[in-house]
A and B are shown apart, each in its own frame.
Chain A
């Protein structure tokens, strides 16, 4: 595959992931739970699919947005209700 395309996809996917992780409130690895680590692994696999054009960039954005969004919601519920342990 054309290196320019790989670079463009990698740069865009990196920026999307960086902003999503930052706005989700996670700042350091020290703040993370074991489930944060699991989510990070899943995000890494999605990044791989996006860079090698196995999925469309819109699918990558939706998948990562939903995953991080649900993760943030679970954190909120855990804090609010004490019902979930992630």
Chain B
């Protein structure tokens, strides 16, 4: 049973270190997913048609709803066909705001790029604006 408490203690200690870095150290890219990783994860969920799993990456106050995401995803799949790869591209981080993009390599439309504006909400980057080209 002592092993269990050692595991519990280690977990609490590690969480304390993470909280110290993120909250006290104002970290926004090391121990929290950076903007390009959020953009890539969001786009991967759309590419896999898992629209409900894309929504947690969006700021609830942004006005982007699951319906918007489904419509955007449906349009992408109709235009681009099979999606072979998704890669996040870093943008600019300025205080609590950031930009990033995600490049999709597709069968039908070639290279498609999604552009994102993100804001830091409760220590995590959330998408507040999304457009494609």
Answer whether A and B are interacting partners: yes
- Give the interface of A toward B (CB within 8 A): 1-2, 5, 8-9, 12, 16, 19-20, 23-25, 52-58, 61-62, 64-66, 68-69, 72-73, 75-76
- Give the interface of B toward A (CB within 8 A): 1, 3-4, 6-11, 14-15, 17-19, 22, 29-34, 36-37, 41, 88, 90, 124
Closest Cβ neighbor of B31 among chain A residues? A57
Cα distance, A32 to B32, chains bound together (Å): 33
Closest Cβ neighbor of B16 among chain A residues? A61
The number of A-B residue pairs with CB atoms under 8 Å apart is 81
Cα distance, A54 to B57, chains bound together (Å): 11
Give min CB distance, B10 to chain A, whole Å.
Answer: 5
Give min CB distance, A3 to chain B, whole Å.
Answer: 12
User: Which single member of B3, B11, B30, B32 contacts A65 (CB below 8 Å)?
Assistant: B11
Residues from chain B with a CB closer than 8 A to the CB of A9 are 30-31
Cα distance, A23 to B8, chains bound together (Å): 10
Q: Is the CB of B33 within 8 A of A23?
A: no
User: Which single member of B8, B14, B34 contacts A69 (CB below 8 Å)?
Assistant: B8
Cα distance, A72 to B2, chains bound together (Å): 10
Residues from chain A with a CB closer than 8 A to the CB of B90 are 1-2
Q: Is the CB of A72 within 8 A of B7?
A: yes
Closest Cβ neighbor of B87 among chain A residues? A1
Cα distance, A56 to B27, chains bound together (Å): 12
Q: Is the CB of B11 within 8 A of A57?
A: no
Cα distance, A54 to B10, chains bound together (Å): 23
Cα distance, A61 to B6, chains bound together (Å): 14
Cα distance, A9 to B29, chains bound together (Å): 10
Residues from chain A with a CB closer than 8 A to the CB of B17 are 12
Residues from chain A with a CB closer than 8 A to the CB of B32 are 56-57
Q: Is the CB of B37 within 8 A of A1?
A: yes
